[in-house]
Structures are given as structure tokens and as C-alpha cells.
Amino acid sequence: MPSDSERSRGRGGPTAALNCVPNRVLTCLLTCVALWVGLLPQVVRATPSSLSTPSASSASSTPCQKPVYLTFDTGHMGVAPLIAEVLQRHQVKVTFFAAHELTQEGDGSLGSHWAPWWQARAREGHAFASHTFDHVYWLADAPEGRFDVRPSAGPHKGQRLRWSAQDYCAEITRARDRLQALTGVPSLPLFRAPGGKTSPALLRAAKTCGYAHVGWSASGFLGDELPSDRFPNAQLLRQSLERIRPGDILMAHLGIWSRQDPWAPAVLEPLVQGLHQQGFCFRTLREHPQFQQWIARHGA
């Protein structure tokens, strides 16, 4: 029967050192080292770690077959830090529509207190657009091409005002300019009317000064402003995961005063994870086919 040393002879490998006689220990150790060094490139090529997954940047550049467009309007900003953490953790890019609204802390959502937050979002590659500076609701069309409106923030909060088309355009531009000053990047030539309330005449007026309106899809209404006693978070999450379809524009807020059980802490992350698992990918409105040509023509 062949000895252990005879069986291992000629095969090579680290076990060769085990067959060394005492007066050749140093030689055998050197042989082992040489053998391991020779095998190392093969080991590296075979390890799973060498089959690295795509980086976040490369993943975002891959073709997207099921895009959705997550957007956030401003609010009391109480959940804004949490939302930013979730988006960064999952490498999700969104579009923020901003107005200068009352906040739980600081001097308003477009005030100096929140400037570092907006700057950080710009560095992460999110997109920005106007929500009118004083969060001005359209109420009705009025004679001579004017509009009845009501701001929910600012010095005229709660007052019914009658504005010209130029007045309304100036209000959109105020928020755009403030966003650009805060973030250092151009805002999109888009806007969202508070509450999504518009008329054909209002939309025409906005387009004459370079702004296209962005609403949201029926299934993209995420429900964060609904009463939490009648629309609990678990129900809203389930409905969103069942109903959202490719191409949908989704809408939520950076804080809703009236909702008792906040939406974002319970729903946002599982929603993002669930949509990813269904093969959806998140894009900003820069990439939305409905708005790409408008943005190219009117600059961003």
C-alpha cells in the first residue's frame, strides 16, 4: 500500500508541507508559500466576491422598463430628514415641488433653517420645481383673464385675492428662484398647483410664462394627507403596491399637519422596497416622456 507521502507526491498543494521530514522543514515551508502564491490568482477568480453587483450609479444608468416618478410637495418638514435617509439608503431619486410653508421648526420650508437640507438633496441628484411660493390655491376663473386665489402661507394667508395671469406667473417664479438660490441648481420649468387645483385658463397662463403643470396619477395618490383613523398606513401601503403601474407619477408630502399617524415613517421604505421587488425603478421628472421636450425647450 502506498504511503501518505507517496500518495501526495506529484499532486502539489499546501498538503505537501505535512509530509516533510524534520531536517527539511524550512524547505517545505518555503515550498508551501510558493504553492499558495501560485494558486492565489485562481482562488481570487473563483471567489463570489469577484462577481460584484452593479454600483448604484451603474444601476441608475441601466434601461428602466417599469419607471415610476415619485414626487414630494412641501409641508411642515417634520418627516423631511427621515424621507431623505430612506431615499439615500435605497438610491431613489425624486422630484420636490416646493413652497414656502409653515414648518414645525425653523423659518419656513424655504427658509434659512432648511437651506442645508435642500443643498444636500441637490448634491444627491434630486430634481426641483415650484409649488408657488405662498402655496396659493386656485379657486375660480374671473373676468378679464384673472383668477381668484387663496394663499395658505405668507402675509395674505387665508385671504381671497384676485390675480392677473402675470401675478400667478410671478408667484410660480418666486418659488423657482428661491429653490435655485438654495440648491445652486436650476429648477425644472414645471410647477404643481397646491391641491392640484387648476383650470384650462390657468394652465394656459402658466404655459405662456414657461411652466407646464404636473399633477399625479390616480393610483399615485399615496394618501398621506387622508385621515389616519379611516385610512391607516397598512391599508395605504397595500393599495399602493397593488395599484401602481409603470409610468405613474406618485405624490406625497414632507409633512401633513392634520394626519395623526404620519405616513412616511410607516409606509415610505416598505413602499420603495416593494416596488423595487416588483421590478419598478424610480426616476425624476427630467426623464418623464411627457415633459422631456418641454424641459429641453424651456431649460432647466
Quote the CA–CA distance of 264 and 267 in Å, as a whole number. 5
Quote the CA–CA distance of 299 and 193 in Å, as a whole number. 20
pLDDT band for position 42 (cuts 50, 70, 90)? very low
Residue 8 has pLDDT above 50, yes or no: no
Quote the CA–CA distance of 220 and 295 in Å, as a whole number. 22
pLDDT band for position 62 (cuts 50, 70, 90)? low
Q: What is the dihedral of CA 219, 127, 193, 222, to 10 degrees?
A: 20
pLDDT at 237: 98
pLDDT band for position 51 (cuts 50, 70, 90)? very low
pLDDT at 210: 98
pLDDT at 187: 98
Task: Look over the chain and give the mean of its residue pLDDT values, rounded to a whole number.
Answer: 85
Residue 175, classified by CB atoms within 10 Å of its CB into exposed (0-12), middle (13-18) or buried (19+), is buried
Residue 77, classified by CB atoms within 10 Å of its CB into exposed (0-12), middle (13-18) or buried (19+), is buried
3-state secondary structure of 100: coil
Start and end residues for every CATH 3.20.20.370 domain found in the chain = 63-298
Tens of pLDDT, residue by residue over 197-233, are: 999 999 999 999 999 999 999 999 999 999 999 999 9
**Of the candidates 252, 260, 239, 258, which has an alpha carbon nearest to the alpha carbon of residue 282?**
252
Rg of the chain's alpha carbons, rounded to an integer?
29
Q: Which CATH class is domain 63-298?
A: alpha beta
Cβ–Cβ under 8 Å, residues 202 and 141: yes
Residue 53 has pLDDT above 50, yes or no: no
Q: Looking at the DSSP assignment, which residues form a beta bridge with residue 181?
A: none
CA 167 to chain centre: 32
Tens of pLDDT, residue by residue over 80-113, are: 999 999 999 999 999 999 999 999 999 999 999 9
pLDDT at 244: 98
DSSP letter at 261 equals S
Helix (H) or strand (E) holding 81: helix 80-89
Q: β-pairing, 161-163 with 146-151?
A: antiparallel
Helix (H) or strand (E) holding 179: helix 165-183
The amino acid at residue 26 is: L
Half-sphere exposure of 28 (CA within 13 A, CB side): 14
Q: What's the pTM value of the predicted model, to 2 decimals?
A: 0.80
**pLDDT average, residue stretch 144-161:** 98
Top pLDDT among 119 and 17 is at 119
Q: What is the dihedral of CA 26, 30, 33, 38, to 10 degrees?
A: -160
pLDDT band for position 61 (cuts 50, 70, 90)? low
pLDDT at 63: 79
Tens of pLDDT, residue by residue over 226-279, are: 999 999 999 999 999 999 999 999 999 999 999 999 999 999 999 999 999 999
pLDDT at 286: 97
Quote the CA–CA distance of 158 and 161 in Å, as a whole number. 9
Residue 190 has pLDDT above 70, yes or no: yes
